[in-house]
Chains A and B, each alone.
Chain A
């Protein structure tokens, strides 16, 4: 196989951007993706088999067969879980990664999200830390992501975000009924509601049409291609340069290292299960927080006997996603108007600034709930089964609003990915073992957020509410997984530097949610994208043809 400049592992939110930035700068790139490239013909509206309701399997990978993980429960020990089971913490395995089927909320983090330790101090037992970069450093790349990927929305109702040099490229979609019910209630409470920024065309953009406002959004691929991910933006651009080759159904085995501690290539299993080696000048790992950590840990070499970049036992630690809490309000009038995607309004008033709480999170109304998603979300005292349940479904399906939000997790070093000592995947590689949790203070914040959601719904006229604020016993990574290859200035306490370059291996980069020091009180996709743009720019600038200037 012909040697290339760069191998990028993972064609998701970050990997697609890196491939595009490097290939347009003239570098030769091989983009490896373990999953398939889905098309409009795969946009099946199957409410039992998609990427959120997965009772009949994951629509966009990985398959249950041969892709297990292990979850270590503090009470009952290790459990092997299938890819479609909740404990797996799946995102996706396909071209576009999570961005093919996400809900597409595309927030900027606020400036304090990058300064959590300085702002609040680290709660005892936590590994709360500041980022080595600031909001101002990232601002131009947020904007670049907003324009290249295509974001609609409007922050102007909220005073809590950092400055935007330019407004979002597309206006928000016209408000749906939930927006109209919740907006005046928020204002009466003194809050600052605004239109959720979304990677979704509200008007024709990038050569594709606008959202048709169907109810099948989060968890599904968009059948009119109005939802913007890496698969319909940067990856086609990368392939169009002629410098980038996408290889699908190719599972990376390890980053191959030479004896001087530099990467020389990537070993992977191709679509036919054959072991291949792709030689290259640099490797960019963009496989999502769980699988990126696993790949580094599986890449053992003479100088890195415990895994690549893992000299100080940092790879896989500080795993975090989001602690989702909120409330559901039940109304005596129809709240449902069948105008998708449903999620439309948010407040960021509670992300920071509450005495006694380390941060908080955004609160938003939810995407349209399909009937199967309602069965467990009934008013208090509804029978769990029988006529009472059936009749409550009929009464309340169109008369409820859910307000939920991603509570910013307080990370702990013990929330982590390791290699399972016993279980292997279909290629014979040790699988990821998920263990530990986020700091318990996270759950205090989450409960407070749920109460705030409840108050908002009551102000909007809810007759009754249920509060949804659990205390999971295992860290919640899922689609928002982050933190396992922390970015930092101190090589002993982090895996990569501010340029996403592995501290001890100058031609290996980790560019994805893994590098997040903290995960904000917002869905992380746009931040992952912005970091990918920023790190790619630095990488290209420092690339000298055969190596990186020191």
Chain B
């Protein structure tokens, strides 16, 4: 039963990944958000959320959260295990953009990097419930199993220095199965 469910996930993820690749090189904050392949998020929500995710795990020598597929992870879970958090995302992202317009006259995704950082700090104080939710989900996507759409190419595991894939025995087959 689990394997058949996997089959469905895999197809979907391949679809999402293919969409992201077609839109732009990587979904860095970016106009790739215009693609209509999100399962739950609207394009506008995806753009705002990608800012938050990349503030939580920014790019350095290693990719940022969204470069590693975290947006795809969160979006997929919002139609699966995190259905119960849909309202929190809808309201929280709206509030984030509202704060941004109030303070800078533009939505979060249209701010420069310094402003995005300031605004994210503001949000973490004004709506810690939502911010901590996004923080947890971003970490899950970035540090968790690539099977769920984030941590693309196991990049965070390579970053912390563990063998990739960090499995032995028959699970290595399982790991390949999980990769799109």
Q: Give chain A's interface residues, CB within 8 Å of chain B.
A: 40-48, 55-57, 64, 212, 214-216, 223-224, 336, 338, 370-372, 374-375, 384-387, 389-391, 393-394, 397-398
Contacts and interface: CB of A to CB of B under 8 A. Distances in A.
Contacts of B12: none
B129 to A, nearest CB: 14
Contacts of B2: 42, 44
A359 B143 CA distance: 39
A385 B160 contact: no
Contact of B81 (A40, A56, A336): A56
A55 B162 contact: no
Contact of B57 (A40, A41, A390): A390
Given A55-B140, A387-B60, A394 B55 contact: no
Nearest to A340: B168
B77 interface: yes
B148 A56 contact: yes
Contacts, number: 97
B167 A216 contact: yes
Given A44-B174, A57-B81, A216-B171, A390 B162 contact: no
Contacts of B143: 371-372, 374-375, 393
Contact of A48 (B3, B145, B161, B162): B145
B175 A398 contact: no
B2 to A, nearest CB: 7
Contacts of A384: 135
Interface residue SS majority, chain B: helix
A371 B160 contact: yes
The 8 closest A-B pairs by CB, nearest first: A397-B160, A371-B143, A385-B56, A48-B144, A372-B143, A45-B171, A375-B139, A56-B81
22 contacts: A42-B2, A43-B170, A43-B171, A44-B2, A44-B174, A45-B171, A56-B77, A56-B80, A56-B140, A64-B81, A216-B171, A223-B169, A224-B169, A372-B140, A372-B144, A375-B143, A385-B55, A386-B56, A389-B57, A393-B143, A398-B161, A398-B162
B140 A371 contact: no
* Chain B: interface size category: 35 or more
Contact of A393 (B145, B147, B160, B175): B160
Contacts of B169: 212, 214, 223-224
B166 A215 contact: yes
A84 to B, nearest CB: 8
A56 B145 CA distance: 11
Contacts of B147: 46
Contacts of B57: 385, 389-390
B144 A397 contact: no
* Residue among A370, A374, A385 having the largest count of chain B Cβ atoms under 10 Å: A385
Nearest to A388: B58
A504 to B, nearest CB: 43
A397 B161 contact: yes
A44 B175 CA distance: 9
A90 to B, nearest CB: 15
A371 B60 contact: no
A425 B169 CA distance: 39
Contacts of A46: 145, 147
Given A45-B167, A46-B145, A384-B135, A394 B140 contact: no
B159 interface: yes
Nearest to A220: B171
B157 interface: yes
Nearest to B6: A44
B145 A338 contact: no
A389 B57 CA distance: 8
A101 to B, nearest CB: 15
A129 to B, nearest CB: 40
B13 to A, nearest CB: 14
Nearest to B167: A45
B144 A394 contact: no
Contacts of B170: 40, 43, 223
Contacts of B124: 385
A95 to B, nearest CB: 16
Contacts of B175: 45
B60 A47 contact: no
B163 interface: yes
Contact of B171 (A44, A370, A393, A394): A44
Contacts of B48: none
